[in-house]
Chains A and B, each alone.
Chain A
Amino acid sequence: MTTATLETPAQAKPAKQKVILCEGNEAAALGVALARPDMVAVYPITPQSSLVEHVAKLIADGKMDADIVDAEGEHSVLSVLQGGALAGARTYTATCGPGLAFMFEPYFRTSGMRLPIVMSIVTRDGITPQSVWGGHQDAMTVREVGWVQVYCETVQEVLDTTIMAFKIAEHHDVMLPVNVCLDGNYLSYGTSRVELPDQAEVDAFMGVKDVNWHVALDPHRPMAVDPLTGGSGGKGPSTFVRYRKGQCRGMQNSLRVIEEVHEEWAQRFGRSFAPLVEEYRLDGADYAIMTLGSMTGAAKDAIDEARDAGRRVGLIKIKTFSPFPVEALMKSLGKVQAVGVVDRSVGFRWNCGPMYQETMGVLYRLGRHVPSMSFIGGLAGADITVGHFHRVIEATEKLLSAPAPIEPVWLNEKD
């Protein structure tokens, strides 16, 4: 942790913030500009394209001082940034869906090299069937690769989280790449009022850049980056284990750091976001529904209506999906007797949503039987409406008195 972050003024008054109207992709681009990366590499893909277009325009207009690399594909996009990061650059890119799949090879390696690259995933469903629409399948597919992944609910959160992501990634206890996930279509193109932080304030928040203190390709301090580890019988495997364990420790450290950074953000800029898990009207609830990303807005409306109608239901929203916030979620789930989990992607192996599968693990740790079920909705850009959430609430409520169904509920199947 840099000194600057430790000297957070207790009573900071946020500077007057400019208010603008913009879409999520532009908000992400503005956040990137405020974080002052040295290098961005871009390759267009729907629904990410307008994000990199905004970045390119900010640079072209002199509003952002970064080297932009129009690479020939996502694989090279991430590879260029790896090189930049190893040479000391703060780096950024964005992708989604097939682009993310294409960059998987360097993607896997980024976390292993502990490079604090920030990448937005403007989430898009996985092909095939061919689709250019939103869904969490892309980000979910790579959840086990050692990147920190956070999901945003609003355009403002996209902007603020994009900036915070650099600070989380570059924290010396973390040193991991971070995905800021914003829902394709809903957040990428959704336009709303946004408060734009002051550059000087952001600079103070970010502190001193120091991204390759741990690994570098620099003739001033030559080293071999990622030499081969040998096979069994030598020290290769134990070296490998120490690397992996270090990655896991970084992931666990990030849970604390994400909280600290969100806290500092709130103090400096007056906007507070639940860093790991958000509870909405959970106190006094018998059961809960769980959400991720932009669907949460409609879900909250549905919760409000259900509460008004006397249902004892609350909402748990996950912001930090990787690492999975087990302890925080245990606290929230400890308050309820049943839970329904809404995913915007599928887990093929368990025939349920991926977040549901993760939740089942947490429920097991609770040591108490909590009936649960999986809902899958919003695939391929489908809307999850307040009406859909009422169905979710009703079905979850039934878990209090009836056996839980094994099959997931496909919310948009008959839309």
Chain B
Amino acid sequence: MGKSYNTIAFDANKCDGCGDCMTACATAKVGVGDTARSRIQIVGSADDGFELALCRQCGDPKCVMVCPAGALTKNFDTGVIEWNDAKCVDCLLCTVGCSYAGIALDAGSGHVAKCDTCDGAPACVPACPHDALTYVTTSRIYNEVGDWEDLFAPGLAGCQGCNTELLMRHTLRRVGPETVLATPPGCVPGMGSVGFNGSTGTKVPVFHPLLTNTAAMLAGIKRQYKRVGREVNALAIAGDGGASDVGFQSLSGAAERNEQILFMVVDNEGYMNTGMQRSSCTPYGAWTSTTPIGKGSGGMPSQGKTQDAKNLPLIMVNHRCEYVATASTAYMEDLYDKLDKAIQASKRGFAYLHVYSPCTTGWRFPTDQNMEVARKAVETNFVMLWEYNRTDGLRFTRPVDDPLPVTEYLRAMGRFRHLSPDQISHIQSKVVENLAFVQQMAHRQSA
């Protein structure tokens, strides 16, 4: 029970109905590109939008229940509902059982046919020229992580819709119990990770460093355990303010000394825990409680932050750390991959993971939109997902070749609502400039 499986996901917004997926499926399954025989069926029209009919590999599959011949079975290892042609009697009851048109008569063979995910390498997915189909393999995360102990206490008190708790729990589960955790002042301890009044919020040793000395304290801890021959992970889950502003010196110092620390920054682009004040990671134009909107004086209205954000992860690259990466909670596979690499790197030296984490409260968007905002940030190249190590240099892990206009991101939240056209074009040009800069680094270092 409780196992998760990989799945084929469909983004209707990206589908133009070209049918390449169906051709690929039919070719893979019956050897001819007859789309009528594809097990994935795109229906609908350009006017009305395209839709998908495909086996969902249900957890409680009705097709299996109604099969009188025992020809359909759920494979609990792969999650795929398997069809046994030797047992099938062609009665079609399965097609009546399924509410999703996931199993249907293949007129060409006279039998029912359904998606079997091509044994975990579905032919349809790479065939899609628009990335409307993706093979989501995050089940690995759930299955692996689900077996590991959640090392935070239940009931952390984050704001509604905040994904930092998700990030914290995943991270600590992955890093494991042989860890000392530092959570400097900010949302992470604010939601109770260090506890209150003498009770802890965490099952591993945890402490509040100062906002300023997280990396230094962890360095001392790690060094002492190394000295006495104990393998203990030193982990920081810090905010962007503490890392990029007042804590930057100790962060930089520890990175330069290549201390064996995993330093994760949860970047919500401001001092959100203390009431949404500006940090040096706050982007240009953003409203914060210390860059408010007002009519100003001398004809100069106050229109949010007047400077561009500091690019902390790039600065960390210039420390030539063991590992530096940016990540987003909207891309958990990518994040997990990087977390694994960062953990390994932190056994050799300084590993820095910068996770963009939208703030429902401070950025002013509906609480159900966190993942969408995080995704839009990446899809517009407002933030870029990449990783760096000294051997391979910098490389994009999720390059966005055809980015959405930055307005798609900006309009998703209230903190940019006041922007003037000039401000928007400034932000768009910064996106282009930042992309070019990182691309140049990626190019140079891969050369």
The residue from B178, B196, B222, B223 contacting A227, defined by CB atoms under 8 A apart? B196
Find out whether the CB atom of B210 lies under 8 angstroms from the CB atom of A105.
yes
User: Chain A, interface size: which category?
Assistant: 35 or more
Instruction: Decide if B180 is an interface residue (CB 8 Å cutoff).
Output: yes
> Could you say which of A72, A223, A229 has the most chain B C-beta atoms within 10 Å of its C-beta?
A72
Select from chain A the residue with minimum beta-carbon distance to B178: A219
Q: Are A69 and B207 interface neighbours, CB within 8 A?
A: no
Could you tell me the distance between the alpha carbons of A75 and B194 in the complex, rounded to whole angstroms? 23
Is B173 part of the contact surface with A, judged by Cβ < 8 Å? no
CA distance A70 to B216 in the complex (A): 11
Q: Is B252 an interface residue (CB 8 A)?
A: yes
Contact in complex: B253, A217 (CB < 8 Å): no
How far apart sit A39 and B225, CA to CA, in the bound complex (Å)? 11
Q: Which of A3-11, A45-53, A234-242 binds B?
A: A234-242
Interface residues of A (CB under 8 A from B): 38-39, 41, 67, 69-73, 75-77, 79-89, 91, 105-106, 109, 216-219, 221-230, 234-236, 239
- 20 interchain pairs, CB-CB under 8 A: A71-B216, A76-B215, A80-B220, A81-B220, A83-B216, A83-B220, A83-B221, A83-B223, A84-B220, A89-B220, A105-B210, A222-B206, A223-B205, A224-B199, A225-B206, A227-B195, A227-B198, A227-B200, A227-B208, A230-B196
A366 to chain B, nearest CB (A): 42
Given contacts A72-B253, A84-B221, A216-B205, contact A224 B177 (CB under 8 A): no
Q: A72-B252, A222-B203 are known contacts. Are A105 and B212 too (CB-CB below 8 A)? A: yes
B 361-391 contacts with A by CB, 8 A: none
A257–B225 alpha-carbon span in the complex (Å): 30
The answer to whether A226 and B227 touch (CB under 8 A), given A69-B219, A75-B212, A79-B213, is no
Q: Write the chain B residue with the least CB distance to A80.
A: B220
B203 nearest CB neighbor, chain A only? A222
| A-B interface, 5 closest residue pairs, ranked by CB to CB distance from nearest | A83-B220, A72-B253, A224-B200, A79-B213, A79-B216
Question: B residues near A, CB below 8 A?
Answer: 177-180, 189, 194-210, 212-213, 215-225, 227-228, 232, 249-250, 252-254, 256-257
Contact B199 A87 (CB under 8 A): no
Interface centre among A75, A79, A88 (most CB of B within 10 A): A79
Residues of B close to A226: CB separation below 8 A = 194, 207-208
Contact B179 A41 (CB under 8 A): no
Contact in complex: B180, A217 (CB < 8 Å):
yes
Query: How distant is the Cα of A85 from the Cα of B223 in the complex, in angstroms?
Result: 11
CB closest residue in chain A, given B189 = A228
The answer to whether A38 touches B216, judged by C-beta atoms less than 8 angstroms apart, is no
Q: A219-B177, A226-B207 are in contact. Are A72 and B223 (CB under 8 A)?
A: no
Closest to A218 in B: B205
Alpha-carbon gap, A84 to B259, bound state (A):
13
Beyond the given pairs A79-B210, A87-B180, 8 more chain A to chain B contacts, judged by CB atoms under 8 angstroms and listed by A's residue number, are A70-B257, A71-B257, A87-B232, A88-B224, A105-B210, A219-B177, A219-B180, A227-B195
